[in-house]
């Protein structure tokens, strides 16, 4: 059988590697960082992502904590806790990625961490799971920040707090920690400065008092910039000949809490074409075409809805309207439709 090499050892790359090894495909995953590591992420899995994990034998419920409700906050307005349409799991990327990497190793897969892949363009048999695409020209630059805190009481398992130029999500994860993850934007013409994590998070006035007394795990601080928020093109011209998984395929707006699931689902869609390529039944071009057709069918409607909702949530008037009880129920529909 032909070897499959996956560039990028995050959720998408590792879960694809596990599924391929379970089908007998020789797999190598190349990851530039060492495990375990912290990454900017909402650290929440729900919907079809949990089904994918179950299909490859990962019992994430034993690793994380159940997430059942969400509340919304802006300035002095706070919604009641709403039940999620379906149960989710909160789990840190620090623990999750490490668990996936160890599982792949036990199955006979090769994981080369602290190794940066140099070759370009990618040859046949090489899958790109390296994370987000580069942000295209825009009047806004998007960036994300994440940290773990303790000694913070939550109104619900998930909280979403609106700021003037973004939003901050809080989610319970294992070990009694709270993951605080924010998406922010600045005008592209302004020069970026080193972010002050706590100041960014407390730009949500609804969090200012609570987080001022929090205990921060400084080792968990992580940042990422140049996020392609709003992009739903699954096959951009310069990427059309690449097999791309997870955020390298497309990034769903973080407010949906579905980024981890999208990564897992894209990996699942890639398995059958890659198995057929490895066994010599499909050429690389045929496997790629089959995968791209599947991803367009699977994700395009959800990405379009999520990006439209993201644009609305960045408007001050829409944020104020969203906090009204008769409007906030619409979120349940949006949540369900992005799964």
Q: Mean pLDDT, to the nearest integer, of 28-45?
A: 95
Number of C-beta neighbours around residue 324 at 10 A: 11
pLDDT band, residue 17 (cuts 50/70/90): very high
pTM (predicted TM-score): 0.91
Main-chain dihedrals φ then ψ at residue 262, nearest 5 degrees? -60, -40
Longest dimension (CA), the chain: 61
Question: Domain limits of the chain?
Answer: 4-136+228-337
Neighbours of 108 (CB within 10 A): 10
Looking at the predicted structure, is the pLDDT value of residue 335 above 60? Answer: yes
CA pair distance 153, 174, nearest whole angstrom: 15
pLDDT of residue 131 exceeding 90, the answer is no
SS3 74: strand
Whole-number Å distance between alpha carbons of 169 and 157: 10
Give mean pLDDT, residues 295-324. Answer: 84
Position with higher pLDDT, 256 vs 52:
52
pLDDT-derived band at 134, boundaries 50, 70, 90: low
- Options 3.60.9.10, 3.50.50.60, 3.40.50.10540, 3.10.20.600; CATH of 4-136+228-337: 3.50.50.60
Tens digits of per-residue pLDDT, 257-306? Answer: 889 999 999 999 999 999 999 999 999 999 999 999 999 999 988 888 88
């Amino acid at each position: 059988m032909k070897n499959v090499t996956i560039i990028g050892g995050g959720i998408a790359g590792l879960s694809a590697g596990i599924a391929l090894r379970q089908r007998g495909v020789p797999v190598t995953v190349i990851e530039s960082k060492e495990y375990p590591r912290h990454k900017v992420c909402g650290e929440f899995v729900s919907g079809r992502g949990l089904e994918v994990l179950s299909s490859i034998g990962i019992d994430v419920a034993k690793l994380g904590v159940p997430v059942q409700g969400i509340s919304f906050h802006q300035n002095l307005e706070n919604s009641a806790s709403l039940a999620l349409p379906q149960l989710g799991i909160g789990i840190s990327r620090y623990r999750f990625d490490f668990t996936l990497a160890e599982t792949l190793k036990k199955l006979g897969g090769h994981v080369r961490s602290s190794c940066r892949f140099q070759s370009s363009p990618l040859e046949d048999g090489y899958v790109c799971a390296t994370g987000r695409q580069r942000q295209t020209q825009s009047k806004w630059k998007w960036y994300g920040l994440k940290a773990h805190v303790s000694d913070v009481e939550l109104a619900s398992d998930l909280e979403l707090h609106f700021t003037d130029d973004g939003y901050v999500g809080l989610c319970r994860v294992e070990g009694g920690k709270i993951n605080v993850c924010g998406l922010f934007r600045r005008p592209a013409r302004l020069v970026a400065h080193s972010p002050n994590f706590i100041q960014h998070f407390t730009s949500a006035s609804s969090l200012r008092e609570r987080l001022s007394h929090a205990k921060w795990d400084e080792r968990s601080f992580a940042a990422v910039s140049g996020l392609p928020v709003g992009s739903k093109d699954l096959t951009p011209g310069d990427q059309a000949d690449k097999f791309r998984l997870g955020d390298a395929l497309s990034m769903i707006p973080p407010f949906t809490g579905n980024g981890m699931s999208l990564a897992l689902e894209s990996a699942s869609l890639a398995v059958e074409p890659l198995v057929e390529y490895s066994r010599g039944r499909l050429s690389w071009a045929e496997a790629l075409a089959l995968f791209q057709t599947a991803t367009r069918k699977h994700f395009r409607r959800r990405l379009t809805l999520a990006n439209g909702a993201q644009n609305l949530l960045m408007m001050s008037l829409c944020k104020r309207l969203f906090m009204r009880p008769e409007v906030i129920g619409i979120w349940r529909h949006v949540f369900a439709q992005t799964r």
